[in-house]
Chain A
Amino acid sequence: MHEMSLAEGMVTAVQEQSKLQNFRHVKRVILEIGALSHVDPHAMEFSFEAATRGTLMDGADLEILSPAGQARCFACDSDVTIERRGDGCPNCGSHQLIVTGGEDMKIKALEVV
């Protein structure tokens, strides 16, 4: 459950932001968790609730955006979308794919007071 340490890291990052951007409470957190990132959205939801309890993010809504996995296929020379790692190219079936997107794990935005 590395999502727990990531959620705890998020709280620290948001606490730092609260000093820089002068806010006291977070009402909503918008996360981007790419389909090919290292985070399971359900585990993140669970960890988020536990890690934010008693902090300035307590009770905040968590919104998770999940951009699809993007890859470049070297066999058919095309840019494709893949659901998960290990999938073949949807055009030609080759596994000569290099992932080009959908790996990010970011706090996109905060709705704050």
Chain B
Amino acid sequence: MCTVCGCDGKGQTIDGHSHHHDHGDDGALNYGAGEAGVHVPGQSQTRLIEIEHDILSKNDALAAENRSRFLQQGIIAINMMSSPGSGKTTLLVETLKSLKDRPVGVIEGDQQTSNDADRIRETGAPAIQVNTGKGCHLDAEMVGHAMDHLAPEQGTLLFIENVGNLVCPAAFDLGETRRVVLASVTEGEDKPLKYPEMFAAADAMVVTKADLLPHIHFDVELLIENARKVQPRLDVLTTSATGAPGITPWLSWLNGLTLQFQEAAE
């Protein structure tokens, strides 16, 4: 048995620790035969270093930079996330048409095409498209670069339309002021339970396409109940961008947020 680590020298591990040094065929401890080829007194060839490095630390640091930039410039940034096709761009287009009296800006995230940014620009709002290529989410670095190009004016209400995906964007802090998840009534009521990370990370849920409710079997209350199972403090706003009940609840929520930030700034 190896007197250094207590193993039998044949590669087995003890208490989940792998073997720290090489044993020769003759049972000798070969400290100089390891990968480094030398022996430093007091230090084995292989060493265990504890680093406690947060996997998202690089993104989180860049998100913190974005956040302080938003604060300095009085920008309210809304990170909008949902599955593809739940109506993010349509809601945004209608929202921008109603916000003609204040500075707005949009960062559009999609894997490919600038279709969404084109739709946004038609409303007269400045927009920049970020194509993530194979990427499945926006990250803080992309948003920082987009900010450089968009150069929004002081006090802008900035919408960041994330890549349509209910999984990956949840993990990436962009430095946003609030996170909003959209759920359309043509999806299942159990979406929040199927994709809990996304709903748990959200401040508000916008229920979209509510004008379709008379024509389909969808229980809005059940959707809300499920969403609050993963995020008990979630704000819920039921809307339709193309019919009743309109998008007033969402606009009021945005106004409330703006007032809250204006008061905090004074």
Chain A residues with CB under 8 Å of chain B are: 1-2, 5-6, 9-10, 12-13, 17, 21, 23-25, 27-28, 31, 38-39, 61, 63, 84-86, 88, 95-99, 104-113
B137 — which chain A residues lie within 8 A by C-beta? 2, 5
B193 adjacent to chain A (CB < 8 Å): yes
Contact of A107 among B47, B55, B170, B229 (CB under 8 A): B55
Given A27-B46, A112-B46, A113-B46, A9 contacting B34 (CB threshold 8 A): no
Q: Determine whether the beta carbon of A109 is less than 8 Å from that of B51.
A: yes
Contact of B47 among A2, A106, A112 (CB under 8 A): A112
List 23 A-B residue pairs with CB atoms under 8 Å apart, sorted by A's residue number: A1-B136, A1-B168, A2-B167, A2-B168, A9-B59, A17-B49, A23-B49, A63-B16, A85-B197, A85-B200, A85-B230, A86-B192, A86-B193, A96-B232, A98-B232, A99-B200, A104-B54, A107-B51, A107-B55, A109-B48, A112-B46, A112-B48, A113-B47
- CB contacts under 8 Å to A, within B189-214, are 192-193, 196-197, 200
Q: Determine whether the beta carbon of A109 is less than 8 Å from that of B45.
A: no
Q: Determine whether the beta carbon of A13 is less than 8 Å from that of B58.
A: yes
Whole-angstrom distance from the CB of A96 to the nearest CB of chain B?
Answer: 5
CA distance A31 to B49 in the complex (A): 13
CA distance A5 to B226 in the complex (A): 30
Residue ID in chain A nearest B54 by CB atoms: A106
- CB contacts under 8 Å to A, within B46-99, are 46-59
CA distance A6 to B193 in the complex (A): 24
Q: Determine whether the beta carbon of B135 is less than 8 Å from that of A113.
A: no
A95 — which chain B residues lie within 8 A by C-beta? 228-230, 232
A107 — which chain B residues lie within 8 A by C-beta? 51-53, 55
- Count how many pairs of residues, one from A and one from B, have CB atoms less than 8 Å apart in the complex: 101
Q: Determine whether the beta carbon of B49 is less than 8 Å from that of A9.
A: no
Q: Determine whether the beta carbon of A106 is less than 8 Å from that of B53.
A: yes
With A5-B135, A23-B47, A86-B229 given, can you name 4 additional A-B contacts, CB distance below 8 Å? A2-B168, A5-B137, A108-B50, A113-B35
Q: Determine whether the beta carbon of B232 is less than 8 Å from that of A97.
A: yes
B172 adjacent to chain A (CB < 8 Å): yes
B112 adjacent to chain A (CB < 8 Å): no
A28 — which chain B residues lie within 8 A by C-beta? 18
CA distance A86 to B200 in the complex (A): 9
B56 — which chain A residues lie within 8 A by C-beta? 6, 9, 105
B136 — which chain A residues lie within 8 A by C-beta? 1-2
B139 adjacent to chain A (CB < 8 Å): yes
Q: Determine whether the beta carbon of A24 is less than 8 Å from that of B172.
A: no
CA distance A112 to B35 in the complex (A): 10
CA distance A28 to B51 in the complex (A): 13
Whole-angstrom distance from the CB of B37 to the nearest CB of chain A?
Answer: 10
The 4 A-B residue pairs whose C-beta atoms are closest, nearest first, are: A38-B171, A85-B196, A2-B168, A113-B35
Q: Determine whether the beta carbon of A24 is less than 8 Å from that of B18.
A: no
B172 — which chain A residues lie within 8 A by C-beta? 2
Q: Determine whether the beta carbon of A113 is less than 8 Å from that of B54.
A: no
Contact of A113 among B34, B53, B232 (CB under 8 A): B34
Interface string of B31-49 (1 = CB under 8 A from A): 0001110000000011111
Whole-angstrom distance from the CB of B13 to the nearest CB of chain A?
Answer: 10
Residue ID in chain B nearest A38 by CB atoms: B171
Of A25, A61, A95, A98, chain B has the most CB atoms within 10 Å of the CB of A95
CA distance A107 to B56 in the complex (A): 10
CA distance A17 to B47 in the complex (A): 14
